[in-house]
Each structure stands twice: as C-alpha cells, then as structure tokens.
Amino acid sequence: MAVAPTPIADPRAVSDSERAALLEQVAATNFALYQWRAAPPDDDALDEWLLTFTGNFGLRAREDHRSANGNGVVRIQVAHDGGRVGYIPYTTLRIAWHTDGYYNYHGPDNCVRGMILHCAAAASEGGENRLLDHELAYLRLRDADEAALRLLMHPQAMTIPEATDDSGRFRAANAGPVFFLDDAGALVMRYTARKRNVVWRDAETRAAAEKLLALIEAEPLARRLTLAPGQGLLCNNVLHDRSAFEDHGDSRRSLCRIRFNNRINSN
C-alpha cells in the first residue's frame, strides 16, 4: 500500500524526526511526499516558506528558469495571456513522462538534479501525477537490454532542437545523454517521452528510447497520486508525468515548482 505523505507541522522549522522521515523516503526512491500542516498567509509568504523548507534539505543552488519569479519559484497554472500561452505546462493538457530541465543540460554537474513540486490549489478533476524513481527505470532497462541502456548513456543520445521559449528568448539546441553519473557518482536522468521536438542520435537509440518508455509505462512500482493543497513532492529529479485536468467555477489548479542544480543533501 502506498505510504501517506509525511506530515510537516511547520515547514519553516522542520524537526529532526520529520527530516529523517523524508530523507528515509528519498534514500529508498529518490523522492518524498509531504503534507504541510500549517498554511502560509499569501503567495509571497508561500515562496519564502518553500525556500526555507527546501533549504532544510540542502537544496540551495537554484536554477535560473525563464518563468521563475525573483525567488526562483515557478507557478504552474493555466495561462490565458502572456508568453506562456500555448506552452503545455501552462495548459490543462497532459504532460508526458519526463525529468525536469531535459532541454537545459550543461554537463553532469550543471543540470537539474533536485526539484520541489508543491500544490497550492488542486484542479476540480484530474491533474494526477505518476512518479517513478529514475534509478529503478535504469535498473529495469539494464535487466531487459543492456545494449539499449548503453545507447542511452551516449553523450549525444538525445538532442532537443533549438527553440523559442515561453518568454520569447532563443534557446540553443541541447544535446546530452539520457542516463549519466554526476561527479559524486549519483545517477541522473535527462529524459522526455514527447515525440515532437526530440532528435535521437540514430535509429537504434530511438528504438532504445521506445523500449525504455515501454518499461516505464509497465512499471508496477510507479506511484500515482493527485496532490492536495499543502502536499508536495521533494525529489532528486525523478521521472514524472501529469494527466489532463479541468477547473470548474472559480477553481484554478496551482502548483509551485523550484528546480535545483544539486541533489537533496549534497553539494
């Protein structure tokens, strides 16, 4: 049975036992689920609480994301105007399996390795996430087809073509491996299951990626949940997706995300 999110009495002052409970989950699956018992009074306070909370886990190297506010916090909500209109995360559409920042890889120690996804407001319907430890995906592929795994570890395995981002900025093509080790020897994954705007190194690598996706889709240990307000995911950039959702009446799904260049409790 799935473990319930760990209650956190005050996210600004995480207790030793609360921290230990979350770190135990991270050690087992590279992610932890929590439930804040206290609620911040407003959006600005929420940003502060998220930064203090993640600081308790050594997550301090924030990525400069184009959609982030000055605090490095991105609000994932449906955009009706502005530069984000039409970009999948800011619609009600499903998001395919991915790890965060797969288009922003600049070497094993300069990429997204940590992330928090915190629910401020849930959708009326849908908006479910599936979560999967990327180390487990690696092991499944190694067991099924070691040659396919080697192809996905090639330094040029997956290229995201150049594009214009959601603030109108040009982004150069981004090439790199799917699986790699950082300088501390931790396994990191850079991946998207989307079919468009992804170039695989060759036909064999594309076939390897299809094999990987089939294993991910069939994985019985993938966690499935719909985050409720105050709940969130603290992780070493594990695989995740999102189902489509609907907002009715005044409801407006709102998730906050911060990406980090380091892992939980690492440098």
Segment interacting with Fe ion (CB under 5 A) among 80-88, 94-102, 152-160, 200-208: 94-102
- Least distance CB 69 / Fe ion (angstroms): 18
Distance CA 201, CA 39 (A): 47
- Least distance CB 117 / Fe ion (angstroms): 7
Phi, psi (degrees; rounded to nearest 5) at 258? -125, 135
Residue 52 exposed, middle or buried by CB count within 10 Å (0-12, 13-18, 19+): middle
Residue nearest to Fe ion (CB): 100
Question: Within 13 Å and on the Cβ side, how many CA atoms surround 154?
Answer: 18
DSSP-assigned letter for residue 162 = P
- Least distance CB 134 / Fe ion (angstroms): 13
Residues from 192 through 231 that contact Fe ion (CB under 5 A): none
Q: Give the total of residues touching Fe ion (CB under 5 A).
A: 1
Binding mask 46-85 for Fe ion (x = CB under 5 A): ----------------------------------------
Phi, psi (degrees; rounded to nearest 5) at 207? -65, -40
- Least distance CB 152 / Fe ion (angstroms): 19
Distance CA 202, CA 76 (A): 34
Distances (CA, A) of 149 to 139, 160, 208, 210: 9, 19, 7, 11
Distance CA 189, CA 179 (A): 5
- Least distance CB 1 / Fe ion (angstroms): 26
- How open is the CA angle 82-162-217, to the nearest 5 degrees? 85
Closer Cβ to Fe ion, 38 or 93, answer by number: 93
Closer Cβ to Fe ion, 11 or 101, answer by number: 101
Closer Cβ to Fe ion, 154 or 261, answer by number: 261
Distance CA 114, CA 251 (A): 29
Copy the structure tokens of residue 244.
């489509």
Residues from 97 through 156 that contact Fe ion (CB under 5 A): 100
Phi, psi (degrees; rounded to nearest 5) at 17? -75, -35
Q: Is the dihedral of CA 227, 232, 238, 244 positive or negative?
A: positive
Radius of gyration in angstroms for the set of CA atoms belonging to the chain, rounded to a whole number: 18
Segment interacting with Fe ion (CB under 5 A) among 52-60, 92-100, 159-167, 199-207: 92-100
Closer Cβ to Fe ion, 145 or 166, answer by number: 166
- Least distance CB 170 / Fe ion (angstroms): 22
Closer Cβ to Fe ion, 140 or 257, answer by number: 257
Closer Cβ to Fe ion, 154 or 174, answer by number: 174
Closer Cβ to Fe ion, 151 or 158, answer by number: 158
Closer Cβ to Fe ion, 194 or 206, answer by number: 194
- Least distance CB 129 / Fe ion (angstroms): 9
Question: Within 13 Å and on the Cβ side, how many CA atoms surround 129?
Answer: 20
- Least distance CB 242 / Fe ion (angstroms): 8
Residues that bind Fe ion (CB under 5 A): 100
